[in-house]
Structure 1
Amino acid sequence: MEYLLLLIGFALLIKGADYFVEGASGIAKLLRVPPILIGLTIVAFGTSSPEAAVSIRAALNGSNGIALGNVVGSNIFNISLIIGITAMINPLQVERETVRKEIPFTLLSSILLLILVSDTLLQGFVTNQITRGDGFVLGCFFLIFMFYLLEVALHSREKDEDLTAFCPKTMGKNVVFTVGGLAAIIFGGELVVGSSTTIARTLGMSETMIGLTIVAVGTSLPELMTSVTAAIKKQSEIAVGNIVGSNIFNILFVLGISSAVYPIKVDPKIFFDIKLMILYMTILLVFSRSHHRISRKEGFILLMSYVFYGVYVVLRG
């Protein structure tokens, strides 16, 4: 039964992502808002919903390894495998503002997370944890990011009144496509995560390993399907914005809410993965600065690096 639910979840994710990208890009054209902003906001928030649901529920249940491992594992998966696959399908153009502001902000958020979980090293505490106070700090940074996006949106509405001519669907149809696709993505993600977690537990996997692998991959499937679909449709701004925005949402919003609800204890093993996440963000920044695009070769490097990381996590246990 669990395997059947897993297949149904995959089907919902694939079809939902297709409708979601089409509707979101249509809304961007009708509102004369650059697609990158839609990717950083609507698409990123929608595809991060499974991470939020799983991490908050895990924090409430005291499953700290799953809550934190889910976010860190998802962000690593997003940058390495998803960016890698989408770049190999179609080289990704990266907006200048994304290279200058959004990607560095994601890197800053990752470094902030490392600082907040280093209680033993920095403050001499017995254990490391993300406290409720840390959660509010993350939430404040998230609000700063949202205000920044709002400011950008208000000043970057395209002046070309004929832009809507390129969007055949009305606002109502685009909203239906976006909401319907989002619903399928969230429900499909829940089915995939629930069934895969049950399967993983029967195999005797640890909570941290489940969070970093099965749950992280499962909750990142919406980002994968959405970004791949966007790349095929040559909407690279949405593909890149989706990943960058999702990583920011995961750290600042998902962990902020989760730890504010219930403090999250930190497994010492996760420090390596957090540092690797920071390294991946640095690599993404370097790749993006080269002609403001991520080539197929760079995508292949990212993809293969995740394969090695996956093998390492499994062997580490």
Structure 2
Amino acid sequence: MVTTNFLILLLGLVFLVKGSDYFVKSASTIAKKLGVSEFVIGLTLVAVGTSIPELASSIVASIQHASGIVVGNVVGSNIVNIGLIVGLAAILSPMKTEVEMLKRDGYIMLFSAVLFFVFALNGELSIIESGLFVLLYIAYVFFLFEEAEKYEGKLHFKEFIIYFFKFKYINSAKQKINGSNRNGNSDSEDGNGRPEGGFAKDILTLVLSCAAIVIGARYFVNESIFFAELLGIPDTLIGTTLVAVGTSLPELVVTVSAARQGYGSIALGNIIGSNITNIFLILGLSGLLYPINVAEVSLFFTTPVMIVISLILLIFISTGWEIKRWEGVALMVFYAAFLPVLFSMS
């Protein structure tokens, strides 16, 4: 019995590692073929793909009215993403950063964290507030892909807020839908009806590798919990560490893999994009199903910690436009200090 569980644990880890390798490579290839920067792909496609475990678990928890799991999953994952994952990736390989990581996406990440804190001050994330989060995410995605040329490289936080309140993303969505209906599949096929440039193969690789990551994460987490219980580790400790870190395993393996392969933009873009996705999309969709109650420990401790560590990351991004090894160590020390305080409050 134990031997079988151990083999499943190893198999889950293999799925995670190999799936992440193929995921990063296919995402990079798609970025080049579409003429989109690797950083933008990391912020959107890779970020959503690696956030699937958080999305699935949060939606199920919301249906079951388990608000604590929803909020804890999202806020905890965001802290893990920066403290543990960016920290580890920077230690393995210092990551080059860009101005957009700070003035556009970094500020949007910080804005999402602060906005959630403001909305949660009354102890609940309402359906209306959740709907606003979803709209903000839709606007963010269209803003990245549609507005790059119009602003001539000045896609900053201010332009995003103007773009959102002018509802430009609604017109962009209509144009995309109408254009798709008129053109059918003509843009994706060559004269003989075959997918152009092997694009279909890249998409298939991306989907299959994403599935491998999710399946690997699921079995790896389940078997980790099994061995923790077998060794007599308390349930509270299991939930706070293994489950919280477990749903962030896709971000961990994809980010570390990207950093080691030299795709620093995808590595950091994945984390920033995942944090934005976690709040705007995952909390938004979960809250649309049922209003989310926010516990005091989430409101007065974990959410402020998420805001603080986000600020620290933005500072590190701008120091020499590189996240250095010592800064990675500092992030991991911050995360290590956060855990015992959290345990003492639970």
TM range (shorter): 0.7 to 0.9
CA contact (8 A) 1:22 1:177 kept: no
When the two structures are superposed, what TM-score results if normalisation uses the length of structure 1?
A: 0.86
Map 1:39-78 onto structure 2 (within 5 A): 39-78=42-81
Distance 1:216 1:152, change over 3 A: farther
Aligned to 1:165: none
Map 1:181-220 onto structure 2 (within 5 A): 181-196=209-224, 204-206=234-236, 212-220=240-248
Aligned to 2:328: 299
Aligned to 1:278: 307
Runs of 4+ residues deviating >6 angstroms: 154-157, 198-202
CA contact (8 A) 1:73 1:211 kept: no
What is the alpha-carbon distance in structure 1 between the residues aligned to residue 256 and residue 133 of structure 2?
29
Answering whether residue 270 of structure 2 is matched by residue 226 of structure 1, we say no
Deviation, 1:314, is 2.7
What is the alpha-carbon distance in structure 2 between the residues aligned to residue 58 and residue 198 of structure 1?
21
Map 1:132-171 onto structure 2 (within 5 A): 132-152=127-147, 170-171=198-199
Distance 1:49 1:156, change over 3 A: farther
% of aligned pairs identical? 39
What is the alpha-carbon distance in structure 1 between the residues aligned to residue 69 and residue 228 of structure 2?
12
What is the alpha-carbon distance in structure 1 between the residues aligned to residue 291 and residue 129 of structure 2?
9
CA-atom RMSD, angstroms? 2.3
Deviation, 1:96, is 1.4
When the two structures are superposed, what TM-score results if normalisation uses the length of structure 2?
A: 0.79
Residue deviations 1:59-107 (CA, integer Å, cap 9, x gap):
1112221111000000000011111111111111112112111000000
Map 1:14-33 onto structure 2 (within 5 A): 14-33=17-36
Deviation, 1:30, is 1.9
Deviation, 1:41, is 0.9
Aligned to 1:243: 271
Deviation, 1:192, is 3.3
Deviation, 1:4, is 4.9
Matched residue type, 1:216:
A
Distance 1:289 1:13, change over 3 A: same
What is the alpha-carbon distance in structure 2 between the residues aligned to residue 155 and residue 15 of structure 1?
39
Deviation, 1:312, is 2.4
Aligned to 1:161: none
Deviation, 1:266, is 1.4
Deviation, 1:203, is 5.1
Matched residue type, 2:257:
T
Answering whether residue 78 of structure 2 is matched by residue 83 of structure 1, we say no
What is the alpha-carbon distance in structure 1 between the residues aligned to residue 126 and residue 223 of structure 2?
30
Structure 1 residue matching 2:320: 3-state secondary structure: coil
What is the alpha-carbon distance in structure 1 between the residues aligned to residue 69 and residue 136 of structure 2?
23
Aligned to 1:123: none
Distance 1:58 1:245, change over 3 A: same
CA contact (8 A) 1:45 1:249 kept: yes
Q: Alignment partner for residue 177 of structure 1, among 193, 202, 205?
A: 205
Distance 1:211 1:75, change over 3 A: farther
The structure with more radius of gyration? 2
What is the alpha-carbon distance in structure 1 between the residues aligned to residue 63 and residue 239 of structure 2?
15
Distance 1:182 1:239, change over 3 A: same
Deviation, 1:195, is 4.5
CA contact (8 A) 1:2 1:196 kept: no
What is the alpha-carbon distance in structure 2 between the residues aligned to residue 7 and residue 80 of structure 1?
25
CA contact (8 A) 1:138 1:252 kept: yes
What is the alpha-carbon distance in structure 2 between the residues aligned to residue 267 and residue 312 of structure 1?
16
Answering whether residue 16 of structure 2 is matched by residue 13 of structure 1, we say yes
Answering whether residue 45 of structure 2 is matched by residue 38 of structure 1, we say no
Residue deviations 1:195-242 (CA, integer Å, cap 9, x gap):
456677885535xx7665332211111000001000010000000100
Distance 1:152 1:222, change over 3 A: farther
Answering whether residue 159 of structure 2 is matched by residue 130 of structure 1, we say no
| Number of aligned residues | 296
What is the alpha-carbon distance in structure 2 between the residues aligned to residue 170 and residue 182 of structure 1?
19
Which runs of 5 or more residues in structure 1 are unaligned?
120-127, 158-168
